[in-house]
């Protein structure tokens, strides 16, 4: 019997809203199945400090499996072009994520091509890395009204009065950062 990915590939995967919804469902099934199959990501796997590196490597491996499965869909192969104004970086990134169709998970698997408006440069990976590190430094600042720091040098938590939709978009960008192996945090 053919698995959900094979069935979706035969259907053509992509184009209409119905196809995008089917694509999202197939991708979720494939993601869950791949994670369940990996011995280091199971719930029974011990969490000894010495095994942390192995678990992180296993997570990277599962992400790469998912990336390869998603690349079967046309919508995951196109570049995602992000024009960003550096002075409005946080709002630009969140607006771009907000305008993207959340029912198209292939977006998270796309290669990101960043352009900083008014600045020279061609993104060969460096501008994307700059976007991710700059975003995580900036989004934690009090003027954005999303996070607060517990104590000097302490952890950041969402503010109680933060806009829930904007926090959801920050979460989507966090997923993109993790999937593309970019560092997160104030660093």
pLDDT digits (tens, 9 = 90+) for 44-96: 555 565 577 777 788 788 878 887 877 777 766 778 888 999 999 999 999 98
From residue 63, give the alpha-carbon distance in Å to each of 72, 98, 104, 107: 15, 23, 17, 14
Question: What was the pLDDT predicted at 7?
Answer: 39
Distance between CA atoms of residues 26 and 11, nearest Å = 12
Task: With beta carbons less than 8 A apart as the criterion, state whether 78 and 112 touch.
Answer: no
Task: With beta carbons less than 8 A apart as the criterion, state whether 110 and 78 touch.
Answer: yes
Question: What was the pLDDT predicted at 108?
Answer: 78
pLDDT digits (tens, 9 = 90+) for 88-146: 999 999 998 888 776 666 677 888 899 999 999 999 989 999 999 999 999 999 999 99
Q: How confident is the model at residue 32 (pLDDT cuts 50, 70, 90)?
A: low
User: Which of 83-92, 151-160, 167-176 comes out lowest in average pLDDT?
Assistant: 151-160
Question: What was the pLDDT predicted at 14?
Answer: 41
pTM: 0.67
């Amino acid at each position: 019997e053919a698995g959900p990915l094979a069935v979706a590939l035969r259907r053509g995967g992509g184009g209409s809203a119905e196809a995008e919804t089917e694509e999202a469902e197939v991708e979720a099934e494939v993601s869950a199945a791949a994670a369940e199959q990996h011995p280091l990501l199971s719930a029974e796997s011990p969490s000894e400090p010495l095994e942390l590196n192995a678990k992180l490597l296993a997570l990277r491996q599962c992400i790469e499996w998912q990336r390869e499965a998603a690349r079967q869909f046309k919508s995951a192969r196109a570049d995602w072009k992000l024009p960003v104004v550096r002075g409005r970086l946080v709002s630009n990134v969140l607006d771009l994520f907000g305008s993207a169709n959340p029912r198209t998970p292939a977006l998270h698997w796309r290669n990101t091509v960043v352009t900083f408006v008014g600045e020279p440069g061609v993104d060969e990976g460096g501008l994307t890395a700059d976007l991710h590190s700059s975003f995580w430094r900036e989004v934690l600042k009090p003027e954005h009204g999303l996070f607060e720091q517990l104590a000097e040098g302490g952890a950041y938590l969402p503010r109680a009065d933060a806009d829930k939709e904007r926090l959801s978009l920050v979460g989507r960008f966090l997923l993109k950062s993790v999937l593309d192996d970019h560092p997160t945090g104030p660093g």
